[in-house]
Structure 1
Amino acid sequence: MLKFVVYFVIAAVVVIAAASVWHLMRVAAGNKEEMLRYAGPEKEFTGHFGKALVVYYSLDGHTREIAEKIREKTGADIYEIKTREKFKKTPWFYLTLKKQLKNGEYPELAGELPDPKAYDVVFVGAPVWWYTMATPLFSYLKQTDFGGRIVVPFSTQGSNYGSFFADFVKEAKNAEVDTAAAFNNLPEGYEREVDNKIVSWLNGLSRQ
């Protein structure tokens, strides 16, 4: 009986490992295919958003990179969402997050939040956690009334943004939500393509 259990566990581990490798290969192929659409010469930003603000939360730096690029292109002000208690990547980090999301337990934010009504357009971004918004973004949205302003969400993720944008629309109070953009976390070598993707997205959104 014990031998059977051991064999079963080993087989399960092998199957899970194979599935993980297959998933990573499929994601890499999808990323390569998407980035081919943005290859070539550097695209020029030709848009105008009036007075703009970029609000973002970033844990590992991926969302910060996208937020900074948006700021550079648009000349927007920028604000980083920070939690009073910093997250630590412990072995049980994601299990804790899953429990918090299930129970609606969102972290307390640090610092005074900017007034979105002082801007024409507000970009809001965060990473995807458990196929939805990172918990600090839930906290931010619950404390913010956009006062009818145009709000543009963006996400960063390993491969799947899940219900991030649907949940954003539900939580963003008095927001005129415009076309969102999702950015997969990519290895080095795609900097030009990512930049072109951002510019293409911004030019499509822009208020002339």
Structure 2
Amino acid sequence: MSLKKIFLILILLLLCFFLMGQDVQNKKSTNILVAYFSWGNNVARISEKVDTITQASAIAPGHTGKVAQYIAEFTRGDIFEIVVEPKYSSNYSECLDQAAEQLRRKERPVLVKKVANIDRYDIIFLGFPNWWHTIPMAIHSFVEEHDLSGKTIVPFVTHGRGGLERTIRDLKAILSEDCRILEPLSTYERNVDRAKDDVERWLRELNFQR
């Protein structure tokens, strides 16, 4: 066999290994979904009466959205905003009143869009605020409208002084029994802007790597 043919074979083998490596890399970066529900992405309109400094979570992406961005940046996962109808008031007290009424009626807000090809994702980070000691009804809508059976679910919650409260217990109750649920992340709303290091530490503890 001539040196020219040997050289050509080596080039082809190297190209094959490179393409295989790219395929593995693509799978690593696309089997993770970071889905989140945030008040900031579900506000009808910002009222002039709203103080955008003290009520920053009413501005997209909101507290939960910021944590979602930290996670997506570290894991290279795809990000998905859970957007529903009807929208919520930009006044937090009125928003909580709406949320309380939805909870009382067990009302499912309508998803504006669904995740395309949910089957491609093995791991789903699912984020939301703690509303009335539990998960927002929008999370019920998301779980019921997507087949999450057999997937790894990684919850992350933003909250005031109440912490996680019943959020994780109530989330587990609506997920399929064959879902694997990892240790949740709990982030106090006032710490969100400086929580990136805490988020990355949590991800490393769960064996996620950059």
Output the TM-score relative to the length of structure 1: 0.69
Q: 1:52 aligns with which of 32, 43, 52?
A: 32
- 1:95 and 2:75 aligned: no
SS of the residue corresponding to residue 129 of structure 1 reads coil
- 1:186 and 2:190 aligned: yes
Determine the structure 1 residue equivalent to 2:198: 197
**Pairing of 1:115-194 with structure 2 (within 5 A):** 115-160=117-162, 161-173=164-176, 174-186=178-190, 191=194, 194=195
In the alignment, is the contact (CA less than 8 A) between 1:49 and 1:206 conserved in 2? no
Output the CA distance in 2 between the equivalents of 1:142 and 1:196: 33
**Structure ID, larger Rg:** 2
What per-residue deviation string (whole Å, max 9, x for no partner) do you get for residues 17-42 of structure 1? xxxxxxxxxxxxxxxxxxxxxxxxxx
In the alignment, is the contact (CA less than 8 A) between 1:49 and 1:121 conserved in 2? no
SS of the residue corresponding to residue 183 of structure 1 reads strand
Output the CA distance in 2 between the equivalents of 1:187 and 1:63: 11
SS of the residue corresponding to residue 74 of structure 2 reads helix
Please list every run of at least 4 consecutive aligned residues from structure 1 whose deviation after the TM superposition is greater than 3 angstroms. Answer: 89-93
Kindly tell me: are residues 184 and 207 of structure 1, through their superposed partners in 2, closer, same or farther at Cα, counting changes over 3 Å? closer
Kindly state the Cα deviation for residue 49 of structure 1 after the two structures are TM-superposed. Answer: 7.8
Identity of aligned residues (%): 27
| Structure 2 letter corresponding to 1:85 | P
Question: How many pairs align?
Answer: 158
In the alignment, is the contact (CA less than 8 A) between 2:37 and 2:65 conserved in 1? yes
| Structure 1 letter corresponding to 2:36 | Y
In the alignment, is the contact (CA less than 8 A) between 1:50 and 1:120 conserved in 2? no
> Which protein has greater RCO, CA pairs closer than 8 Å, 6+ apart?
1
- 1:113 and 2:93 aligned: no
Kindly tell me: are residues 127 and 101 of structure 1, through their superposed partners in 2, closer, same or farther at Cα, counting changes over 3 Å? same
Determine the structure 2 residue equivalent to 1:44: none
The answer for unaligned runs of 5 or more in structure 1 is 1-47
Kindly tell me: are residues 112 and 53 of structure 1, through their superposed partners in 2, closer, same or farther at Cα, counting changes over 3 Å? same
| Structure 2 letter corresponding to 1:94 | L
Kindly tell me: are residues 94 and 109 of structure 1, through their superposed partners in 2, closer, same or farther at Cα, counting changes over 3 Å? same
RMSD of aligned alpha carbons = 2.1
Output the CA distance in 1 between the equivalents of 2:154 and 2:191: 25
The answer for unaligned runs of 5 or more in structure 2 is 1-27, 40-56
**Pairing of 1:70-81 with structure 2 (within 5 A):** 70-81=71-82
What per-residue deviation string (whole Å, max 9, x for no partner) do you get for residues 46-75 of structure 1? xx7872110001113000000000001110
Kindly state the Cα deviation for residue 119 of structure 1 after the two structures are TM-superposed. Answer: 1.5
| Structure 2 letter corresponding to 1:168 | L
Kindly tell me: are residues 114 and 133 of structure 1, through their superposed partners in 2, closer, same or farther at Cα, counting changes over 3 Å? farther
Output the CA distance in 2 between the equivalents of 1:114 and 1:206: 27
What per-residue deviation string (whole Å, max 9, x for no partner) do you get for residues 136-185 of structure 1? 11211122221301110110011222100001111122421111111111
In the alignment, is the contact (CA less than 8 A) between 1:50 and 1:121 conserved in 2? no
